[in-house]
Amino acid sequence: MALRFEAIVVDCHDTRRVAEFWAAVFGGPPVEGPDEVGDSWFEAGEGHPGMLFQPVPEAKTLKNRLHLDLRPDDQAEEVERLLGLGARHVDIGQGEQTWVVLQDVEGNEFCVLRAKPLHP
């Protein structure tokens, strides 16, 4: 049996707003979902899972149990770009680390890692 990692599903109130944020993060346009429940979709590109944003009535109350780790070429530059898109710094008790913890426009945490060191 073969499996493919199809999508990361994100519960949210405003599916379009959250999809637009993540589409801007990864550089592509969001699309409306294939059904009538208000889902929005973002395809991150060939070889990467998409992101499905589905509406839920409840508010987020705790730290995510699953989150994305993003690895940019330049951590400081990328953090500034993400803050400009609407992300916010968040303290989830991580202390001083090499990564930066941010929240998307509806409070879902994600991490921006430092660049991987170049190996000769």
pLDDT of residue 84: 98
67 and 47 together in one domain: no
Residue range(s) defining the domain that contains residue 106 = 60-120
What is the residue type of 68?
Answer: L
Query: Hey, what are 70's tokens?
Result: 């993003």
Q: What CA–CA distance (Å, rounded) separates 47 from 69? A: 17
pLDDT of residue 33: 60
Mean pLDDT by 10 residues, the chain (120 residues): 84 88 84 62 74 88 89 96 97 89 96 83
User: Which CATH number is 93's domain given?
Assistant: 3.10.180.10
Number of domains in the chain: 2
pLDDT of residue 95: 85
18 and 71 together in one domain: no
| Cβ-based neighbour number of residue 12 at 10 Å | 22
HSE-CB of 69 using CA atoms within 13 angstroms: 7
73 and 100 together in one domain: yes
| Predicted TM-score of the model (pTM) | 0.84
